[in-house]
């Protein structure tokens, strides 16, 4: 009899991490994946095309949790997810990353006496004002299996008292998806459709509340982006929430009217990777982009004061620059005035992390 694994996703980045599991699952005939979309966020780019591009099946269940406060989202998710656990009695619940649904489903599964495996375990920003940090700590503390993306994450879990036998260093599932679709993304030639030249533009993304909800910080960043555009074309992929804040603070038109700045509505996965891979540098506050730029050897300036992905700094092309304009511009000039070195790819970021996880789960469950 096949063993059912619940695989939980809440938003677009989770599905990008889940995609490679469906590439390998046929190699494990004793396992079946049951895909649950909690719908934690309304997602602007989750059309059928998105699922087809990544070869992901339609979710088996959509919980339609929607937006709300952290407590509201987690409470609704736990109530709905408990019913699924009781009905289907899965052998394992597999959760990803650090969204509210990750912690909510992990807690619920444990209350139902179902084992939990956490992909991307051990990541720490050491900033407990970030809701994601709370979700990471909670999930790791109760998981039966902790799959890590980097050796520093394993060391952190050991410091926190997690038994070594419960931790497995497998690599990075997001990089599995990146490498699998890289050639396909190049065939889009998306950056060329924007009249951009290879390695002669900067790409920007911005979405964290600490950056977009503070008018003073957002004002400084907008001015920095305009300064950058005087010597390097800027393409800014604008998250809907960021656009709303830019408009409410009267910054949007200032950017939109600049001849050397291209503002984009949310774009598809392949187009996004094409822009990143062909850029001179990336400015972002995204965790995923820190990893993708490291894998692609693209210089990345992270507009935050901390990161839960230190391997992207110690072994990659990422630099923490905060939100101080002078520091940001100094680092950009340092990049464009010098040839970027070739950084070593972090260990096990080889496109096989999802296969390692399924192989381990197959053994563990049997």
CA distance 55 to 19: 7
207 given a catalytic annotation: yes
CA separation, residue 92 to residues 29, 104, 114, 118, 145 (Å) = 16, 15, 6, 11, 10
CATH 3.40.50.2000 in the chain, residue ranges? 3-172+349-365, 180-337
CA distance 192 to 82: 48
CA separation, residue 208 to residues 67, 191, 249, 285 (Å) = 16, 25, 16, 7
The confidence score (pLDDT) of residue 41 equals: 65
The confidence score (pLDDT) of residue 51 equals: 86
CA distance 261 to 236: 7
CA distance 40 to 276: 26
Q: What is the pLDDT of residues 317-364, one digit of tens each?
A: 999 999 999 999 999 999 999 988 899 999 999 999 999 999 999 999
- The fold of 180-337 is Rossmann fold (3.40.50)
Q: Residue 46 — very low, low, confident or very high, per pLDDT cuts 50/70/90?
A: low
Query: Do 174 and 16 meet the contact criterion of CB atoms below 8 Å apart?
Result: yes
Q: What is the pLDDT of residues 167-203, one digit of tens each?
A: 999 999 999 999 999 999 999 999 999 999 999 999 9
DSSP one-letter code for 25: G
CA distance 226 to 349: 35
* CATH H-level superfamily of 3-172+349-365: Glycogen Phosphorylase B; (3.40.50.2000)
Q: Coil, strand, or helix at residue 261? A: strand
Catalytic one of 207, 219, 258, 360: 207
Strand order in the sheet with 234-238: 261-264, 234-238, 202-206, 281-284, 300-302, 318-320
Q: What is the pLDDT of residues 68-80, one digit of tens each?
A: 999 999 999 999 9
Q: Residue 110 — very low, low, confident or very high, per pLDDT cuts 50/70/90?
A: very high
**With 80 as the cut, is the pLDDT of residue 47 above it?**
no
The confidence score (pLDDT) of residue 104 equals: 98
Closest listed residue to residue 310, CA positions, set 150, 186, 169: 150
The confidence score (pLDDT) of residue 266 equals: 87
CA 104 to chain centre: 18
Q: What is the pLDDT of residues 210-229, one digit of tens each?
A: 999 999 999 999 999 999 99
Q: What is the pLDDT of residues 227-260, one digit of tens each?
A: 999 999 999 999 999 999 999 999 999 999 999 9
pTM of the model: 0.95
Within 10 angstroms of residue 137's Cβ, the number of other Cβ atoms is 14
The overall average pLDDT reported for the chain is 96
CA distance 279 to 281: 5
Phi, psi of 8 (to 5 degrees): -105, 130
The confidence score (pLDDT) of residue 42 equals: 56
Query: Do 143 and 117 meet the contact criterion of CB atoms below 8 Å apart?
Result: yes
Q: Residue 126 — very low, low, confident or very high, per pLDDT cuts 50/70/90?
A: very high
**With 90 as the cut, is the pLDDT of residue 1 above it?**
no
% residues pLDDT > 70 (the chain): 98
Query: DSSP of 131-183, one letter per residue?
Result: HHHHHHHHHHHH-SEEEESSHHHHHHHHHTT--GGGEEE---HHHHHHHHHHH
């Amino acid at each position: 009899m096949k063993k059912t694994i619940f695989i939980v996703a809440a938003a677009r980045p989770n599905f990008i991490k889940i995609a490679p599991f469906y590439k390998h699952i046929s190699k494990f005939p004793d396992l079946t994946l049951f895909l649950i979309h909690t719908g934690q966020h309304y997602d602007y780019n989750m059309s059928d095309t998105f699922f087809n591009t990544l070869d992901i099946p339609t979710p088996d269940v959509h919980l339609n949790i929607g937006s709300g406060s952290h407590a509201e989202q987690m409470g609704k998710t736990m109530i709905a997810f408990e019913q699924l656990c009781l009905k289907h009695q899965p052998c394992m619940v597999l959760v990803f990353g650090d969204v509210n649904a990750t912690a909510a489903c992990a807690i619920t599964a444990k209350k139902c006496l179902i084992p939990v495996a956490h992909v991307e375990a051990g990541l720490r920003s050491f900033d407990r004002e970030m809701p994601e940090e709370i979700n990471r700590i909670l999930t790791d503390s109760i998981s039966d299996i902790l799959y890590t993306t980097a050796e520093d994450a394993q060391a952190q879990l050991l410091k926190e008292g997690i038994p070594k036998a419960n931790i497995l260093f497998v690599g990075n599932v997001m990089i599995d998806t990146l490498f699998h679709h890289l050639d396909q993304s190049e065939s889009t030639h998306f950056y060329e459709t924007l009249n951009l030249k290879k390695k002669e533009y900067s790409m920007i993304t911005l979405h964290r509340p600490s950056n977009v909800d503070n008018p003073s910080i957002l004002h400084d960043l907008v001015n920095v982006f305009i300064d950058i555009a005087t010597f390097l074309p800027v393409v800014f992929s604008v998250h809907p929430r960021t656009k709303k804040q830019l408009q409410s603070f009267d910054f949007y038109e200032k950017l939109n009217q600049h001849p050397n700045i291209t503002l984009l509505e949310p774009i598809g996965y392949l187009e996004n990777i094409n822009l990143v891979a062909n850029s001179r540098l990336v400015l972002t506050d995204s965790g995923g982009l820190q990893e993708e730029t490291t894998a692609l050897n693209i210089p990345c300036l992270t507009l935050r004061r901390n990161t839960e992905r230190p391997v992207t700094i110690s072994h990659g092309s990422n630099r923490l620059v905060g939100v101080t304009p002078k520091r940001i511009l100094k680092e950009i000039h340092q990049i464009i005035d010098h040839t970027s070195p070739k950084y070593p790819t972090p260990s096990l970021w080889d496109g096989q992390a999802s296969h390692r996880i399924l192989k381990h789960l197959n053994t563990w469950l049997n």
